[in-house]
Structures are given as C-alpha cells and as structure tokens.
Chains A and B, each alone.
Chain A
Amino acid sequence: MPGVSSDSARGALVPLSPESPAAAVYPLRHGLKSPISRLSISWSRGNSLRVSVFAAPSSDGSVNDSDGGKVVEVKLGGGDGEISEAHWRRMAYGSVSPFALLQSRKNAVSSLSKMSMNSSPYDGDWWDYIMEYSKDINALLVNQKSASVPVLDDPKSVITKGEEPTSLKAAWELLEMFYAEKPSHSWLPERLVDWLADYDSLFSGTHPTVHSKLVDFQKELVNLQVVEDDPKYWEVMSSALAVGWLNIVVKMLRLHGSYRLDQLSNRETENGLVEAVAVLISKMPRMRLEHEAGKLGECYKAKPDFVKAWEKWRGQINKLDSSAFWFQCAHQQTREGLRSMLQIMLGNANSLCSATYNWIELYISHFLYMRPLTVGLESMYSLAQKSIQLKPMASAHRLMGLIIGILGENTEVVLAECLKGFGPWMVAHAIELLTAGSDHAEMLLHEERQNLGGISIEELHRLVYAQVLSSFPLTWQIAPIYLISCMKHGMVLLQILLSKQPVQDNQLLLKSIEICRLYELHSVTSNIMKIAGVHHWKHGRKGSGVFWLQQARDEYRLNRIALQLFDSVGKTISDESFKQWEGLIQLLGSDSKTAGGLEFLHKYRDFKKSLRQIHDGKATDSARQAVESLISLMKNPSTPQRFWLPLLYDSLKLLNWKERPLLNVSQTNLLLNKLQELSMARLRPDFIESELPPQALNSVRLALGTNLGRAILEE
C-alpha cells in the first residue's frame, strides 16, 4: 500500500466513520474441550480470518483426541447481501475486458491529441467509447435470478415483476445518465422519472414508497368487489400518477366499477368522467426523445412544440375540472378521487406532497407536473434541496446520498458515497465515468497528492480494488490488469503479488509465470522458478527441482544440489539403477551452462556406458571410447575430486589392457598428476574418503606406472 503518513487523522487512506457499528461477534466452533492456551490470528483468503486455536496440554499427562489444536476460518461480514460472492466474482471477471479496452483507447486518444495540439481529446468517438464501456459494465449487473414473466396478462395485476433490481445497477445507471451519456442534460428529468420507475422498490426496505403501497394494494385487490368504494384505490392511484406511472394508473382506472356492462347504463356520467381522466392521462405531453413501445404519453423533442402541447393539455384539464358533470356524479369517492388526480396533474404542490412518500418521489413529481422545463444541474440541485426540506428523512438510503452528491456536482462526495455504499469495485470502475467529460474532476482525481504518498485518487482506488482481487485465490489473476494501469506503485505491487503466489502446483506456477512473461518481469520469473525448484527438490522431486533451477539458470543452486546428487550417485549408480538416472541425465542435456555442476553426471553416464560395453565383450573400439570419456572427465574442472579415485579404479581394466596400452604418454602423465594431487588432498581435514578397498590407490598407481612404461616403449 502507498505510504501512510504518520498523522493518521489527515492521511487516512480509507475514511473510517467514528460512529462505526457496534462490534460484531463471531462464535468460534473449534470443538476443543481442554482450555485454550494460545490463539493465533492471520488473514486467510478474501474476508476470512484464519484462527489457530492451541489447547493447553492436559495437566495429568494423558493424551486426548482434542489435544493439540484446531485451525478454523471465520468469515467476516455478510458481504453486500444483495450480491452473492459468486455474482461478485462474475462481475469482476466481466469488467476486465471493458476496463482494459477503455484504457487502451484512452492511451490511443491521448497520444493522438499530443500529435495534433489544437484538437480536444474528447471529441469524435470518445463518447461512444465511454458509452460502450458503461453499457458493458451495466450488462454485468443484471441479477441472474430473474423472475419469469407471465404469458397471460392478468387484468388485476397492476404491477409486473421483472428482474429483481439491485442498488448497484441503480447506482451505475445514475452515473451513466449523468456522466456517460453525451451531455444533453435537458433530458435528465425524464431519465430520472424512468429510473425511479425501475428502482423505486429498492427504497421500500427503509422507507415507505409508492411501489410498496402498490404491492400492498395488489394483495388486497383480489378480495375487493367494488374497488371504487375503497379509499386506498384512489390513494394509490394518485400516488402512482404523481410519480408518472401512467400505464399503471390507466389500467387501474379501467378497473372502476362503472365499466362493468351491467352498470354502464345507470353510471353513464360517472363512467364518462373516469374515461375522460384516463384519456387525459394517456395524452400527457412529455419532453423527451421517445418512449418504449406501449408506454402512454406523447413525446415532444423540441421545446416550443412541447410548451404548446403542455398549455393545451392543462387547458383541457382545467376545463374538465370546472365542468358541470361533476354535480351529476353520484358516487362521492369517484368524484373526490378523480378531482384530486386532476389537482396532481395541474401541479398542486399540496396534492403532490401528500401523494408521495419520500423526497425522491416528490422530486420526480415536481419534474412531471410543476417544472417540466428544468434544465441544468444547479436548478435540479436546488429543487432536490427543496424536496428534502418538504420530506425530511431520518436515515438516507445509499442511493439517495449518491443522487445528492451527483446533483451537487461534488466529485469527492460521489466517490465517497460510491465507496461507502457499493465498495471498491464500484469506485475503481466509476472513476472512468466521472473523469470522462469533466476537466475539473479529471484534475481532482489525477492530481498527485502528498498525503496519499504521491499517488492520485484514481490510482489509490485502483490499488485498493486490486488488493481486494489479490486476496481471493480465484481473482488474483485479474489484479495485474488494474495494477499496471497504476503509474506509481502498480509495478512494484504486481511484483510483490506474483512473488507471493504459491509454487507447489505446476499449473498455478505456470499461470504466474505467464503473467510475468506478459509484463516482462524476467527477474520475478526467475525468482519464482528458483523458489519452485528448491521446493520440489526439498520434497524429493529431484527431476522437477533440477528442471526449474535450470530454467532459472541458477548455477549456484544447481552446483549446490549437484553435491547432494553426487552423494547418491556414488552409492546408487549401479547398472540396475541406471534407468532411473537416465531420464534426469537427459533432462540435463549437454549444455553445461544450464546444467551447472551437474554436467559431470552426463559425462559419467557416457563413461559408464562404454565401460559396460567392454564388459559385454565388445572389444577395443568401446575401450578407446571409454578412455576418451575418462580423459575428458579427468580434465574437466567440474568433476568433483572425490570421484577421481573411483573413476580410475573403475578404469583399471583399461589401464591394464592386454593387447596394447590404450593411453599414450601424455594421457598417462595427466592421470598420474591427478593421482598426485589427490594424495596431497588427502592430508587436508575436509577430504571425503571414498568407499573403496584400501589398496585401491596403490593398484591404480601401479597400473598407471605399468601403462606409462608400455606407452613409452610403444612410442
């Protein structure tokens, strides 16, 4: 992590709220009967703690099953609740590609704008890229458990249950509409109306909402014979109208008893009024691009057209409101209910306030009926403040805090709300949207800060997210994507992350090495390989150990383990065990650079092979080959000294070759010199005596002497 300044109050990386919730208690199920003497707590993967519980040894010295200890994992916190761990991982996987694509496009755009000085980096395809990124991320947030949509349209079902909405998706859509959509802020009020229609139910958990009232009424509706007698019917309809759910209101109006065929004749006027209101509702002018098919209301793109239609529509409502037909309507609830709906449509502040249940709903109703021409964040913000004053709330939903932050154009508040409400994934990905079009936000988030150890806010949040990814065994592999986008500390943290990965399993090891290869971290690669080599070696997998050390070109360790190998060579490299060694020697190859001191083994094998062929009776040719191997072994500095005598002793047969001397004068002299060197070395205290018969040295010396004489004679 970036350096934390000593003054923790100023330099806090992640804000800790002083009013943090009461301490959580997690029971430990360790099952130990004896008293516990010691506890050790460390982080396990993700949000888990690993607690090692050590039992006190029983006093009477008897041994029980529960002696010793237990290691248990404790999972902290329940996560989001809304999003399962598996869904969270799916989001993490899915957001890698959009994020990486956007980064590479950003780099391309910025290098292009450097080339041509005058053009702004944010034009052309830039907004398309941002929007594509936002849509890709948004698509990941769809909850998998979507409810099935009924095939038949139930006339009594006023609200249809689609997919279960999540706060995370709602928050992302807010950010998308305010930051990613090409700034055409005149549509924003209508976008918010749609947004609330999708996500009003999210507030039901903590606040009364129009949605929850509708759901309650839906349950009662089945048992109601005469809906228009129920005051709730009118109440709920007014509320739905206030937040602009026109289709639902019209559908509910049509449930009115006066539509029934048997009553149509004696409630003609009443029915006419109900239908007139329904028609007015479905003709409501809206200032927006277009509607989804089947949605009620009439759309106007240009402001003058809208204003004209709006005035006309209100005129019609006023006319209906002051018409004489109301006196002929005998049903009191209908009369009052319909007229209060007209008041809502006319934008009566008191009616709107009483029809809505929280400030966001009130806010939306103001957009719809009082100030449909609201433009600009400033006026939207002041309207929101007014709504909050009218409908103050004890506790704020996390989405409400986000909305206030966005409307207040306060990037820091938006970031803080994202982090507090939705976690590091949200912040790391939302920053891309926040900086998309605002130079101010870009400066704020990209500025290097002394109190953050010299990194920017953007980098900080990417690092935090990468840390979260790194702590899970299934997601650590995607952390590098985020780390390399961090200019200051990313590379170092990536190296640490890779160096900390386990090396026991080849597949995981190779995956780490692959990441090193991608980012050209050659020193990390060779370190990991060395660790793996030593690990395998220590666990008796000599072949694997040698392979990894060879790959790492670690001559030092190869030479060290060579010494250990030679110990077992001296004892076991008999003819029978040769097959075991064959594979290892092949692995070593003949390239002395990668084999280190182990090159000796290769030559030793060749020598033994030709010696064996002599035993098999294949005459002089193999003997000559054996002599050559012997000489090259003895000449080679990598041949350990303690093998000199065994090698010579093995070759007694060659030295005493009957037909003619196989070694010439200089070769014999070389061997004699080595023998002399060996005799001197025996005087040193660290000399390792070989397991040969005591007369071995003398018989070799004698054979060499004899051979020298014969060789001189021959020459």
Chain B
Amino acid sequence: MAFAESQNPLRVYRIPQSRYIDAVRWLSPVSPSDRFAAIAYFDADTNSPSIEIAYVDPNPQSSSPTLTPQSSWTSPSRISSLRTAHSTPQPLLAAATFSGSLHILASDLINGGVMESEATVSQLGFHSGPVSAVDLREGGTECVSVGEDGRVNLVSFVGDSSKLNYRRIFDSNGLVGYTAVKWASPSEFATGGYGFGIQWWDQRTPGGPVLQFKGNWCQGKTSGIVHSIDIHPSRKHTCLAGGSSGTVFAWDRRAAQQPIVLSGAGTGEAPNSLLSESEVWEVQYDRYTRRSNIGNISSTRILPVMICSEDGILAVIEQGEEPLELLAEPCAINSFDIDRQNPSNVICSLEWESLAILTRS
C-alpha cells in the first residue's frame, strides 16, 4: 500500500472540537484566500445539536490552521445529512435530521457568516423516521430527500416562502429503504440502499425508478449497504458508490448489470489490494489530480476517487493502481469533503470529536 508522505508532501492538522461531529462540508469562498466550512455538531454534554459556520484560517502565526466560529444555528434534532450548494456569496445548506425534518439554511459570508434558516419541512408524513440522505441540486432550487421508510421526496424552494412544499416522488411503503442520494442532472438522480442496490430516477418518467442496478452481484456473501453515491458532472452515465465491507464500486448505466469494483472484498476476481474491510462512509470523485487534464483519461476508466472508512482510512483510489493512503487514524473517519475551488484541501471529521484538515501540495 502506498503512503502519501513518500510521494507528495501532505500536511495534516488535527483540531480537537470537544463535540461530536455529525457532518462537515466546505462552503464556496467569497475570495480565493477565504475558507469557510459548515460543521454539524452534537454536544453530548448538553444534548444539543447545531450547525456552525467556521472561518478556517489556513496559516496563522501558530502554523496550524484555526477554526473561528462565525455563526451558529440550533437544530431541533441531530443532523443525519448535510449538503451545500456552491453559490456565492450566500451558499445554501440543506440539513436533514434524525427526526425526519429538512432545513434549508442560507449563510451570508460577506457579513460575518450570519446563518439564517430559510425554510423548513417538518410536517408529519414528510418522512417517517429519520431522513437518511439529502442532496441539493447544484445552483438550483430543489433538493431530494430519501429515507429508510422508502419515501423519495422532492422539495422545491423558491424565494422567501418559509414553509416548503414537497412532492412525493415515490413511496415504497418501507419495502425498499434508501440510504444515499445524489443528483445527476436537473431531472435525474440516483439513490442507493440495501444489498448494494442503486436506483436511477428520472422526474420525466414518474411512478418509480427507471433503471435498477441489482445488488446481488456478490452472491449474498458480502452483501451490504450503500452509504454514499457520487456522480461526476462529465460522466453522468456512471454512478460511484461506497458501502459495507470496504466496497467501492461503479455502475455504468450503459453497461450490463456488472459493477466495476474498485475496492472491497466481494470481488472474487483479481485480488485488489484490500484497502479496508469495514464501512466506507463517504465517496467523492477526487478533483485534485496530478494529471493536467481529466479529458486525457479514457471515458471507460473511472476517475480518481477519495474514500473514508470506519477503520480510519482516508485514501485515493485509481482504477488499476495501488490505492494512495492519505490518513490512517486510530478512530473512524465519518465524513469528508474536498474543496471545490481548491481541491488540494480536504476536511474530515473523526470519531473522537475532532476535525482533520489536509493540505496536499
């Protein structure tokens, strides 16, 4: 297994937070030197969940980055999923909770990062039980939420209506539970769930998923749950998914029901160097690449992928190459985010109540 330190310099800073971190996301900066992050906290001492906007000073005198809280919003329940839309200077946040509500927050980064709740959906019947995942459409005014209750809801918000309206796209009545969701285009999105299944949805074709990726490719031996999905804007035909047993795979919609397994135990084919055997909590395409042009990579090849896992691994996987391990922590890495504007910066949340900020150069 390759270690990052030997190949390219990597600086890692761990910042203790004294609170559990449920989710962490970068916010798109106002100016190139600014860094803001949205962090969903849970304070176990007072039992209070909140979302904070923090200014990340990458290099103060003390040579390690500092977090300066800018504003805070108290959530009615713990955050199960947090997404940001990259619009400046008022980035939008969509936060889903374990009590089944959805909150749209707007943060004004120019005026001191003040955060306001724009709108909330918390009606009975929106979701029963926790919302397991939410995704905010890029620059758009819609978000999609899914839950293990089998509901897929589309929430549109325009202007200043404080009560959000939602539309039920599908309800499986609990026969199928969804645990991950990601927009692919303004009308299409993908969901993931139990048994490594992925569903492809198109709003223009209502009544159910238009395509299903059968999860039983691993013959029931190491079946698991999809925890996270990513779709690259230039490769909309491919869904990238990460889940149980260290499994990271891609599903090319144009191809048959056979997945491209990037890492994990259920391969059976040429033994990939096993990166992790535990849950892969999050996957994202890694836009930070040493190659100058993504276009040079053949369209059948999967782009580089970053993952984080329960056994404390943060790594970059490239198809057919040795994975590059960035972090190996003694505790779980529960979520991470790659800075869109400056992909060399990665922020991740560690199980032991701390954040880690990585700078690749």
Contacts and interface: CB of A to CB of B under 8 A. Distances in A.
A506 interface: yes
B175 A581 contact: yes
B332 A543 contact: no
A584 B128 contact: no
A593 B221 CA distance: 11
Interface residues of B, number: 53
B279 A514 contact: yes
A583 interface: yes
A84 B16 CA distance: 14
B230 interface: no
Interface in B245-292: 277-279, 281
A116 interface: no
Interface stretch (B103-111, B156-164, B194-202): B194-202
Contacts of B212: 582-583, 586
A586 B216 contact: yes
A477 interface: yes
Interface in A458-506: 472-474, 477, 505-506
Given A544-B194, A590-B216, A580 B332 contact: no
B310 A510 contact: yes
Contacts of A510: 225, 244, 279, 310
Contact of B149 (A477, A541, A582): A541
A392 B212 CA distance: 82
A59 to B, nearest CB: 34
Contacts of B353: 86, 89-90, 93, 474
B207 interface: yes
Given A474-B44, A514-B279, A544-B148, A586 B214 contact: yes
Contacts of B175: 542-543, 580-581, 583-584
B150 A591 contact: no
A550 B223 contact: yes
B321 interface: no
B310 A547 contact: no
Nearest to B176: A583
Given A514-B310, A514-B311, A517-B278, A591 B176 contact: no
A707 interface: no
B45 A584 contact: no
Interface in B296-324: 310-311
B220 interface: yes
Contacts of B332: 511
A608 to B, nearest CB: 16
B172 A543 contact: yes
B130 interface: yes
Contacts of B216: 586-587, 589-591
Interface of B: 16, 18-20, 44-45, 98, 128-130, 132, 148-150, 170-177, 179, 193-195, 197, 199, 207-209, 212, 214-216, 219-220, 223, 225, 244, 277-279, 281, 310-311, 330-332, 334, 351-353
18 contacts: A45-B44, A87-B18, A90-B16, A90-B353, A97-B330, A510-B244, A514-B310, A517-B277, A536-B148, A539-B129, A540-B174, A541-B174, A543-B172, A550-B223, A579-B207, A582-B208, A583-B175, A587-B176
Given A96-B330, A543-B176, A587-B176, 14 more contacts: A86-B18, A90-B353, A474-B20, A505-B130, A507-B281, A511-B332, A514-B310, A514-B311, A541-B177, A543-B194, A547-B177, A547-B223, A587-B194, A591-B220
